[in-house]
Chains A and B, each alone.
Chain A
């Protein structure tokens, strides 16, 4: 861990496009988002020394090798860049790699942009593409969609703990309430428990409103060392913890169906680096690709004991004004899930929250925020912890 003490890594600027069904091309979306982060950081593109781009299905919009395209459009074609794919966790994995390189002193300032453009392919093909993120031989090939994989976890949870499908639904209701306060959210619509319960079944016990939408969108942050941050008269926040972990790629390889091993590993590592415990976290953006995922995540991250997230939800503890607000942005469920962008988008929300720029959804007196983002059913995971300055 010594190497990470070399440089303190800061977030100097952040920006996102709206999430949703977008008409622009994947590269246009990515460039717009990058420009908004550069403007937020109040730097010149020439100060950026490298680009970390996260994306999964660029091929679906006829553009892979996105890094050089983005850098060229920012007028810095000579700067190195790379693309990182780690399924739905691509954004946070990209953030981690950028963090590590700034921490190690390779670069003073870098751009991290996550982007996805898939809605033009339609629901059936998007479902199919996403199934390629599973351990395909055992899962996708056997007809397991992503809702189906999480539905299997949901059924195991219902069987193991005192939980109901209505409890799952209340996670969706909460996140939609938060998303209503987020102008960039994909699904800005108030919903009720009944709306969720009456929505069509996608993969039992999960219904349409238990699932996040397929979204297009991009998010970007500027990471830099503290010397660079201090030389710019601009609010910044620090990344005080970064952790990663892995799980068996296929669900069948796991001993328990109601916990995600990679989340626990990533969280332990991030908490250790930050020198804090879960109770020190003021709010969290977690990977709620499905309602069950938020429940499992909040337990694996240590906010609640196993099986007790349900009581916390019933007691409204995870709501925006609760004791541990979860997904103030609306989460993947309401804000949307452009899979390459999501992990970076969580960092954007955390930046906005900790610099007091999250509008009506700003959590007062928040000092420490956590982001949690995984790929597939949590086969890969990254957790980051941020602190205001």
Chain B
């Protein structure tokens, strides 16, 4: 019986592409974060995690978390890596999601001064392109 389960799991892994990066990207494009909730302990993991960090289980349920949250920390980059010259200055932000313990980092365009996006600023995920996860301010007025 155990062997059968293992064979079934093997086939399942072969059929389902567990590398969820494309699904993660598609979700980010619609303003959501794709995460995986462990079926055993309910811990929430990023979609790119294959085994639950709390209990080691590999059975998950996909959940889509609203991509709104607040800035936990950030930097404004003036000396960029190749390919980002045209975006300078821009911010790279770590945000804490409102509806989850998870944090997500990403790119924020057109930021030149730290006081434009102080820690705590409400932000949201709005896309994904060659700059990775795209983040913007939730409110226009601050």
Residue ranges of A at the interface with B (Cβ–Cβ < 8 Å): 123-125, 127-128, 131, 137-145, 147-149, 151-156, 159, 200-206, 250-253, 257
Q: Contacts A131-B81, A252-B94 known; A139 to B74 CB distance under 8 Å? A: no
| Chain B interface residue count, Cβ-Cβ cutoff 8 angstroms | 32
Beta-carbon contact of B80 and A145 below 8 Å: yes
How far apart are the CA atoms of A207 and B45 in the complex, in Å? 35
Tell yes or no: B90 within 8 A of A by CB.
Answer: yes
Tell yes or no: B132 within 8 A of A by CB.
Answer: yes
How far apart are the CA atoms of A206 and B133 in the complex, in Å? 23
* 10 chain-A/chain-B pairs, Cβ below 8 angstroms: A124-B82, A139-B105, A142-B105, A142-B132, A143-B87, A143-B132, A144-B92, A148-B77, A152-B94, A155-B119
Tell yes or no: B73 within 8 A of A by CB.
Answer: yes
CB distance from A229 to the nearest CB of B (A): 43
Q: Contacts A148-B75, A153-B73, A200-B78 known; A251 to B94 CB distance under 8 Å? A: yes
Please name the 3 residue pairs, one residue from A and one from B, whose CB atoms are nearest each other, closest first. Answer: A142-B132, A151-B75, A156-B73
Beta-carbon contact of B81 and A143 below 8 Å: yes
Neighbouring A residues of B119 by C-beta, 8 Å:
155-156, 159
Neighbouring B residues of A200 by C-beta, 8 Å:
78
Neighbouring B residues of A140 by C-beta, 8 Å:
81
How far apart are the CA atoms of A140 and B107 in the complex, in Å? 10
CB distance from A371 to the nearest CB of B (A): 28
Neighbouring A residues of B94 by C-beta, 8 Å:
152, 251-252, 257
- Most B C-beta atoms less than 10 A away, residue of A144, A159, A200: A144
Neighbouring B residues of A153 by C-beta, 8 Å:
73
Tell yes or no: B131 within 8 A of A by CB.
Answer: yes
List B residues 78-113 near A (Cβ within 8 Å): 78-84, 87, 90, 92, 94, 102-107
Tell yes or no: B46 within 8 A of A by CB.
Answer: yes
Beta-carbon contact of A127 and B78 below 8 Å: no
17 more CB-based (< 8 A) A-B contacts, given A148-B92, A152-B94, A156-B72 = A124-B81, A125-B82, A137-B48, A144-B75, A144-B92, A148-B75, A151-B75, A151-B77, A152-B92, A153-B73, A156-B73, A159-B119, A202-B77, A203-B75, A203-B79, A250-B105, A252-B94
Neighbouring B residues of A204 by C-beta, 8 Å:
75-76, 78, 114
A142 in complex: contacting residue of B46, B78, B79, B106, CB < 8 Å: B106
CB distance from B92 to the nearest CB of A (A): 4
- Most A C-beta atoms less than 10 A away, residue of B76, B94, B114, B133: B94
Neighbouring A residues of B21 by C-beta, 8 Å:
137
Beta-carbon contact of B79 and A147 below 8 Å: yes
CB distance from A140 to the nearest CB of B (A): 7
- Most B C-beta atoms less than 10 A away, residue of A125, A128, A143, A252: A143
How far apart are the CA atoms of A156 and B93 in the complex, in Å? 11
Beta-carbon contact of B114 and A143 below 8 Å: no
The residue of chain B having its C-beta at the shortest distance from the C-beta of A140 within the complex is B81
CB distance from A8 to the nearest CB of B (A): 37
Beta-carbon contact of A143 and B78 below 8 Å: no
B73 in complex: contacting residue of A145, A201, A257, CB < 8 Å: A257
- Most A C-beta atoms less than 10 A away, residue of B75, B102, B114: B75
The residue of chain A having its C-beta at the shortest distance from the C-beta of B75 within the complex is A151
List B residues 107-142 near A (Cβ within 8 Å): 107, 114, 119, 130-133
Beta-carbon contact of B78 and A203 below 8 Å: yes
Q: Contacts A148-B75, A205-B114 known; A138 to B105 CB distance under 8 Å? A: yes
- Most A C-beta atoms less than 10 A away, residue of B80, B119, B131: B80
Beta-carbon contact of B46 and A143 below 8 Å: no
CB distance from A33 to the nearest CB of B (A): 29
How far apart are the CA atoms of A253 and B72 in the complex, in Å? 13
How far apart are the CA atoms of A145 and B133 in the complex, in Å? 15
